[in-house]
Amino acid sequence: MFCAANSKPSKRASSRVTSDEAEILHIPAAELRRALAEIPGVSKTIVDALIMRRRRLRRDREFAGMRVLASRDARDGHQLDDFLDKNRIPHRLVDFESEQGRALSERFHLTTRDLPVLITPAGARLRRPSLREVAREAGLLRSVAEEDETEVLCDLAIVGAGPAGLAAAVYAASEGLKTVVLESYAPGGQAGSSSLIENFFGFPTGIGGGELTWLAQLQAYRFGAKFSTPAAALSLQYNPDGEYRVCLETEGCGAVLRAKAALITTGADYRRLEAEGREQFEGVGVYYAATALEGQLCRNETVVVAGSGNSAGQAAMFLSDGAAKVLLLVRGNNMKMSTYLSRRVEACANIDILYHTEIRKMSGGKKLEQIELENTKTGERRVVRTPAVFSMIGAKPCTDWLPPEIDRDANGFIKTGMSVAGAPAWQANKHQPSPLETSLPGIFAAGDVRSGSVKRCAAAVGEGGMAVAGVQTALAASAESS
Ligand SMILES: Cc1cc2nc3c(=O)[nH]c(=O)nc-3n(C[C@H](O)[C@H](O)[C@H](O)COP(=O)(O)OP(=O)(O)OC[C@H]3O[C@@H](n4cnc5c(N)ncnc54)[C@H](O)[C@@H]3O)c2cc1C
Number of CB atoms found within 10 A of residue 317's CB = 18
**C-alpha pair distances (Å), 482 with each of 247, 280, 475, 476:** 19, 54, 11, 10
Element (H, E) at 293: helix 292-297
Of 259, 266, 161, residue with least CA distance to 219: 161
Interhelix angle for 310-320 vs 339-347, to 10°? 30
Residues 407-432: pLDDT tens digits?
A: 999 999 999 999 999 999 999 888 99
101 and 49 Cβ atoms separated by less than 8 Å: no
Exposed, middle or buried, 130 (CB in 10 Å: 0-12/13-18/19+)?
exposed
Q: How far apart are CA 48 and CA 461, in angstroms?
A: 23
Q: How far away, in angstroms, is 310 Cα from ligand 1 center?
A: 22
CA distance to 150, 284, 294, 329, 352, per residue, from 323 (Å): 59, 17, 11, 16, 12
User: CA–CA separation, 233 vs 92, rounded Å?
Assistant: 30
Per-residue pLDDT, 16: 56
DSSP state of 336: -
Tell me, in angstroms, the distance from the centre of ligand 1 to residue 191's CA. Answer: 5
Tell me, letter by letter, the H, E, C secondary structure of 13-76.
Answer: HHCCCCCCCCCEEECCHHHHHHHHHHCHHHHHHHHHHHHHHHHHHHHCCCCCCEEEEECCCCHH
Decide: helix, strand or coil at residue 194: coil
Dist. CA 298–CA 320, nearest whole Å? 10
Residues of the chain scoring pLDDT < 50:
1-15
Using the mean position of ligand 1's atoms as its centre, give its distance from the Cα of residue 75 in Å. 22
Q: Which residue's CA is the closest to the ligand 1 atom numbered 3?
A: 194
Atom of ligand 1 nearest to the CA of 198: 8
Q: Cα of 30 to ligand 1 centre, how many Å?
A: 31
Q: 391, 385, 237: which is closest to 323 by C-alpha?
A: 385
- Ligand 1 centroid–CA 269 distance in Å is 8
Q: Provide the pLDDT for residue 5.
A: 41
| C-alpha closest to that of 299 among 307, 308, 290, 286 | 290
Q: How far apart are CA 183 and CA 194, in angstroms?
A: 18
pLDDT at 348: 97
What pLDDT does 1 receive? 33
Nearest CA to ligand 1 atom 42: 232
| DSSP line for 423-453 | SHHHHT-SS---TTB-SSTTEEE-GGGBTT-
How would you label 335-361 residue by residue, b for 16+ Cβ within 10 Å and e otherwise?
Answer: bebeeebbebbeebeebebbbebbbee
Q: What's the predicted TM-score (pTM) here?
A: 0.81
Distance (Å) from CA 448 to ligand 1 centroid: 7
Ligand 1 centroid to Cα of residue 268, in Å, is: 7
What gap in Å lies between CA 214 and CA 219, rounded to an integer?
9
SS3 463: helix
Choosing from 266, 281, 401, 413 the residue with most ligand 1 atoms within 8 A of its CB, the one to mutate for a pocket test is: 266
- Ligand 1 atom with the shortest distance to the CA of 186: 49
- 185 alpha carbon – ligand 1 mean position (Å): 12
Q: How far is the CA of 456 from the centre of ligand 1 (A)?
A: 9
| Peptide bond just before 116 cis, omega within 30 deg | yes
Nearest protein Cα to ligand 1, atom 20:
457
In angstroms, rounded to a whole number, what is the distance separating the alpha carbons of residues 209 and 187?
A: 11
Please tell me the residue having the least CA distance from ligand 1 atom 2: 194
The residue whose CA is least distant from atom 8 of ligand 1 is: 197
Q: What is the pLDDT of residue 164?
A: 98
436 neighbors 463 (Cβ within 8 angstroms): yes
Gap from CA of 442 to ligand 1 centroid (Å)? 23
Pocket of ligand 1 (CB under 6 A): 159-165, 182-185, 189-191, 193-194, 197-199, 232-233, 265-268, 270, 282-283, 288, 398, 401, 447-449, 455-458, 460
Q: Could you identify the atom of ligand 1 that is nearest to the CA of residue 233? A: 42
Residue type at position 441: P
Helix (H, G, I), strand (E, B) or coil at 200: coil
Choosing from 141, 182, 193, 194 the residue with most ligand 1 atoms within 8 A of its CB, the one to mutate for a pocket test is 194
